[in-house]
Amino acid sequence: MDSKLVVAVDVFDCDFALDLAREIGKEVFALKVNWPLLMVRGSSIVSELSRYARVICDLKIADIPNTNRLIVDKVSGEGAWGVISHSFTGEDSLKSVVEAAGDTKVFSVVAMSHPGASQFIHPRTDELIDLSIKTGVYGLIAPGNNYEMLSGIRARTNELVLLTPGIGAQGGTPEEAMRHGADLLIVGRAIYNAEKPIEEVRRFNSAISQFRR
């Protein structure tokens, strides 16, 4: 399936997550898991979900290099296709994630989709982009509900994959996010809370397909 849609599965119910994966896995680019599922099932949920789709581990890693390596080794060993790391912890920290990842794709957070990011992260976004490029990440996290910022990040780094949250419940639209430079769109609640998630997946895929870069 040629999809650019990443579905965030931000729930505690592992059975629900696996049922959702079976239903939509073939029609999405990837599933994104966060701490709720890992706290309940542990890292094995990554390998379980990987039977149905690629899995991106949204752990927003932000620790010292040795701890980062341990985290990345674990989820990579469970079959994670991608992992998300913060970049504000500095070059040695982010580099440790990239080195430990091997074939697992590393996405670096340089901006976020919630209002509080404007306090400390967004004033340093350009520096975080430069640091991320230097360390060799695969892609960046850029907000899909802040089109001006998304366009600016795209303009600074055309070679990296932009994975964009903030679509749906946080106000961003797939059409505008793609128009302003997104490569992959993250949608969570608008899909997993829907009465028929597969229909929402198809609706988002249809909207995204009109604006391929």
Question: Rounded to whole angstroms, how far apart are CA atoms 185 and 204?
Answer: 9
Tell me, what CATH number does 185's domain have? 3.20.20.70
Q: What is the pLDDT of residue 172?
A: 85
Owning domain of residue 124? 5-209
Asked if residue 213 has pLDDT above 70, the reply is no
Asked if residue 1 has pLDDT above 70, the reply is no
Contacts of 158 (CB under 8 A, 6+ apart): none
Asked if residue 171 has pLDDT above 90, the reply is no
Q: What value does the mean pLDDT take over residues 50-55?
A: 98
The pTM (predicted TM-score) of the whole model is 0.94
Q: What is the pLDDT of residue 158?
A: 83
Q: Which residues pair with 107 in a beta bridge?
A: 84, 139
Q: What is the pLDDT of residue 135?
A: 97
Question: Rounded to whole angstroms, how far apart are CA atoms 64 and 72?
Answer: 12
Q: What is the pLDDT of residue 40?
A: 96
Q: What value does the mean pLDDT take over residues 141-148?
A: 93
Q: What is the pLDDT of residue 212?
A: 58
Total number of domains constituting the chain? 1
Torsion angles phi and psi, residue 6, rounded to 5:
-110, 120
Question: Rounded to whole angstroms, how far apart are CA atoms 126 and 113?
Answer: 16
Torsion angles phi and psi, residue 198, rounded to 5:
-65, -35
Per-residue pLDDT band for 209 (boundaries 50, 70, 90) equals confident
Q: Buried b vs exposed e over 187-213: b needs ≥16 C-beta within 10 Å? A: bbebbbeeeebeebbeebbebbeeeee
Contact 48, 25 (CB under 8 A): no
User: Could you list the active site residues?
Assistant: 60
Per-residue pLDDT band for 62 (boundaries 50, 70, 90) equals very high
Asked if residue 27 has pLDDT above 90, the reply is yes
Cα dihedral across residues 77, 2, 26, 107: positive or negative: positive
Q: What value does the mean pLDDT take over residues 30-59?
A: 97
Asked if residue 187 has pLDDT above 70, the reply is yes
Mean pLDDT of the chain: 94
Question: Rounded to whole angstroms, how far apart are CA atoms 180 and 2?
Answer: 20
Q: What is the pLDDT of residue 119?
A: 84
